[in-house]
Structure 1
Amino acid sequence: MAGFAREELDEMVRRWLIENQRCEELGDWKPLAAMYTEDATYGWNYGPTQEFMAVGRDEIRELALGQEMQGLEGWTYPYQEFVVDDRSGSVIGFWKQVSEVKRPDGQPYSPEGIGGSWFRYGGDFQWSWQRDFFDFGNVSHMFMEMITGNVLPAGMQQRIQRSVNGPLPGWYPIGKAPASLW
């Protein structure tokens, strides 16, 4: 496996952070699709029975960054740390998921546990794949807390309702996605 210049990977992370913050401010993550190769894949596990996978830049834009981020406008995903391997082109970014909605004590809703993204650099300042990971139990608990506290934003309520009506594009039973998580 060919290596990459550390400076190039550091610049990719810098560009990613800037564009990520811009998209958070817009409440629209679709522009991030330009930061993936044309044939990139982006997926994550969602508990013991389901996984998500978008194949190609268009699906990443429309499904991973569009459909899957609907209802999360106003949320931020501040990165806490990056680990960069210039030999493999792997980059791991650890992030938090933070809601604009506050708990009664004034703290924002934010799941406990660790969230992150594992990226593979594809050259030309684009990712060739991304795999997200997060603590499913803590995320589920937080959303249940928001539902029972009657503070879940309308956009997230609509997102949940869409998924109750049947599988959405990009969702697969474990092991049946068009690209492997590994």
Structure 2
Amino acid sequence: MAFDRAELDGMKERWLQANIDVEKAGDWRPLADFYTEDATYGWNYGPKNDFMAVGRDEIRDIAIGLEMDGLDGWTYPYQSWVIDEQTGDMIGLWKQINEATRADGTHYALNGVQGSWFKYAGDFKWGWQRDFFDYGNVTALFAEMLTDGVITPGLQGRIDRVLNADGPLPGWYPIGQTPVPMW
């Protein structure tokens, strides 16, 4: 199904503004309104786990709720987009930057390439989203921030939740066992 380029560009602009708004508010949950009721949102968490939220409610409550809680002080500025009008595929490449700075004045930021691959569903909604980032670099960055004493209480709580879980965390699945395919 082909899509009008102006509509896709409009979706991108609405998404970018909403991201700016939720970063300022420190609550990403309002972004759930950009997904269809049956949308899915997933990513990889290293060599053992994938993450998948199924449906708008899980996206709101788990993917952009629980998984983003504790990431206050972070921004995710988009750097570039690739848009395919024929398929509705949209890839947004972003950085992950913390407001804290190192002794040399540089911000704590995730190295490597990060991004989101979206499938546009029409009516200014995403049908699905898959994020990609280097989990090893995330781990190294959080370890550096812990060592430097710049971890916020929210981020420390998020780290503790992952490290001290008694079982699988909501939305976390062994590699290849998500309820819908990653690809």
RMSD: 0.7
Cα deviation for residue 74 of structure 1 reads 1.4
Unaligned runs of 5+ in 2: none
Q: Which residue of 2 aligns with 1:131?
A: 130
Return the alpha-carbon distance in structure 1 between the equivalents of residues 180 and 143 of structure 2: 31
Question: Residues 104-130 of structure 1: CA distance to partner in whole angstroms, max 9, x if unpaired?
Answer: 111110011010000000000000000
1:62-141 equivalent positions in 2, closer than 5 A: 62-141=61-140
Question: Residues 86-139 of structure 1: CA distance to partner in whole angstroms, max 9, x if unpaired?
Answer: 000000000000001111111110011010000000000000000000012211
Return the alpha-carbon distance in structure 2 between the equivalents of residues 138 and 48 of structure 1: 13
Return the alpha-carbon distance in structure 2 between the equivalents of residues 159 and 143 of structure 1: 11
With structure 2 as the length reference, what TM-score do the two structures score?
A: 0.97
Q: Give the count of matched residue pairs.
A: 181
Question: Residues 38-96 of structure 1: CA distance to partner in whole angstroms, max 9, x if unpaired?
Answer: 00000000111001000000000000010000110111000000000000000000000
1:1-182 equivalent positions in 2, closer than 5 A: 2-166=1-165, 167-182=168-183
Return the alpha-carbon distance in structure 2 between the equivalents of residues 107 and 153 of structure 1: 18
Residue identity over aligned pairs, in percent, reads: 60
Question: Residues 134-178 of structure 1: CA distance to partner in whole angstroms, max 9, x if unpaired?
Answer: 012211111111111121111110011111222210001001111
- Higher relative strand content: 2
Q: Which amino acid aligns with 1:180?
A: P
Return the alpha-carbon distance in structure 2 between the equivalents of residues 71 and 163 of structure 1: 12
With structure 1 as the length reference, what TM-score do the two structures score?
A: 0.98
3-state DSSP of counterpart to 1:69:
coil
Cα deviation for residue 34 of structure 1 reads 0.2
3-state DSSP of counterpart to 2:79:
strand
